[in-house]
Amino acid sequence: MSKLQEHDALRPKASNFFREPGAAFAEQLIASGVKYVFGNSASSDANFYEALVDRPQLKYILTPHEGPGAAMAAGYVKASGEPSLVMQAGFVGLANAMGQMFNAFKEQTPIVYYSYRSDTTRRSGRDGFEEVANQEQVVQPLTKYTWLARRADMIPETVRRAFKAAWTPPYGPTYASWHTDFIDENISHRDHQPRKDRPAHAHTAQS
């Protein structure tokens, strides 16, 4: 048995009763009406990318930088009137996208931003490359709403609220985040089904 096979054998398996956070994230995006996710991939979100394999209705648009990715997502929202998500790699990626977040705030574009965080994880306290405390407070002046999921089972709720707030007039960007440790946990499938209450998509391109 190879090292990779040994690792997979030890990894907790999702069942009808449990699912991984990446799958819960993807399912709530689908329930919120998202078809396209724009982002710059990061290993800490690998659980989410794996979930996309079995969910072809949710497509990931890989961008070379978070700034252009956020601009592409805003353009898609304006042109289609449909919701979208911008994914950034930790605080560094979030900082790269903040210029476009400012534009979305000024233009009242309903778009949801997400990035993971590592300031209070098991790896924190070592001055890691992406370790910045209270990163949701950094973007508060540029968003309608920021939310930190404090448990893995809060991920679907956090995503749903972010879209609900973004698409409730007056429109504007929102930000959701959670700790990278949650990727190693499982969520009860029975108790945490994705909500199907899609936002009212009535946003049109500005002249």
Confidence of residue 2 (pLDDT cuts 50, 70, 90): low
- For residue 154 the two structure tokens come to 């809060």
Dist. CA 172–CA 168, nearest whole Å: 8
CA–CA distances in Å: residue 118 to residues 44, 57, 115, 162, 183: 10, 30, 10, 20, 12
- Cβ atoms of 67 and 115 within 8 Å: the answer is no
Ordered by where they begin, the domains of the chain are: 18-188 (3.40.50.970)
Dist. CA 108–CA 142, nearest whole Å: 11
Confidence of residue 207 (pLDDT cuts 50, 70, 90): very low
86-112 pLDDT tens trace = 998 888 888 999 999 999 999 999 999
Please give the backbone phi and psi of residue 108, each rounded to the nearest 5 degrees, phi first: 55, 50
pLDDT of residue 108: 96
DSSP-assigned states of every residue in 166-197: HTSSSP--EEEEEBGGGGG--EETTT-PPP--
